[in-house]
Amino acid sequence: MAELLGTGEFARRSRLSLKALRLYDRLGLLVPARVDPGNGYRRYRADQLPVARLVARLRMLDMPLATVARIVSAPPDERAALLAAYWDGVEQRVAAQRTLAAHLRVVLSGGKGLLEMYEIAQRSVGRQVVLTEQRHVTPEQLPEWIAEATDRLEKAARAHGGVAGASFVVYHGDVNEDSDGPAEVCVPIEADEAPADAAARVEPEHREAYVRLTKAQVRYPQILSAYDAVAEWIKANGHEIAAAPREVYFAGWGENGPDDAVCDVAFPVR
């Protein structure tokens, strides 16, 4: 017969409070083995302690109860993968919050320390023929639209020699709480001239100042600090902005972590 433990002993040995045990009972996360019908006194089996201790340790990660329940109820060979997926999301969120805090510090200090946040460089960019899709878009709509438009244009590129370089997004107007662009997604193709049967144009040869960003830094609104930094660097170094700014996406999105470089913010200069 399995050993039964009172709530006090079970709480002590599992490192869970009596309040937590009552809550987990109501949620069906950790149900007592026996409840006395007369006085409602709850007893737990000793072999429930490993699950209780797992719950306690998962909660130490600030894991939501719904996620805890999903892990606890999963087959043992699936639990590690579920924990890894949860923690990956935590790291991405913390990285994004860290870059947002850095952005807000600059905003609240009136721009102090802006140039020190980034390493800005210059490069030459050759003439490119690009397929394009343009749209007025809000900051909330922007990430999904960029992904979908890029996918459409890359598929269309197959009929025009294939993709010839990294996709980029040109901002012909600000995309923020007060403005919706427009923005233009561009995918370079292997062609000498813009095809007549597609929305396409020639992106002229130019020189540009740019800064490389991680996945966390690309999030809105912290990405605005990168735009401000490049614009400030251009002014401080005696250059002029020659065309609309853009984001160059040279790496895949889903397979990269928050600290991996995925994008350049660039301004054509003269």
CATH number, position 53: 1.10.1660.10
In a domain, 104, yes or no: no
d(CA 104, CA 87): 25
- Domain hosting residue 213, numbered range: 115-269
Q: What is the CATH number of the domain that holds 153?
A: 3.20.80.10
Count H helices, E strands: the chain?
7, 13
In a domain, 238, yes or no: yes
pLDDT for 193 equals: 96
pLDDT for 74 equals: 95
pLDDT for 255 equals: 72
Inter-residue contact 11 to 50 (CB < 8 Å): no
Instruction: Give the pTM.
Output: 0.76
- Compute the average pLDDT of residues 36-65: 93
- Compute the average pLDDT of residues 44-58: 95
Q: What percent of the chain has pLDDT over 90?
A: 84
In a domain, 215, yes or no: yes
pLDDT beyond 80 at 253: no
Statement to judge: residues 61 and 171 lie in one domain: no
> Measuring CA to CA, how many Å separate 106 from each of 21, 74, 97, 220, 224?
45, 45, 14, 15, 11
Total domains in the fold of the chain? 2
**Which residues pair with residue 112 across a beta bridge?**
none
Using a 10 angstrom Cβ sphere, with 0-12 exposed, 13-18 middle and 19 or more buried, the burial of residue 98 is: middle
- Compute the average pLDDT of residues 95-122: 89
- Compute the average pLDDT of residues 230-244: 96
Statement to judge: residues 128 and 60 lie in one domain: no
Q: Which residue has the higher pLDDT, 98 or 172?
A: 172
pLDDT beyond 90 at 95: no
Per-residue pLDDT band at 1 (split at 50, 70, 90): low
Query: Of 42, 73, 104, which residue is a domain's last?
Result: 73
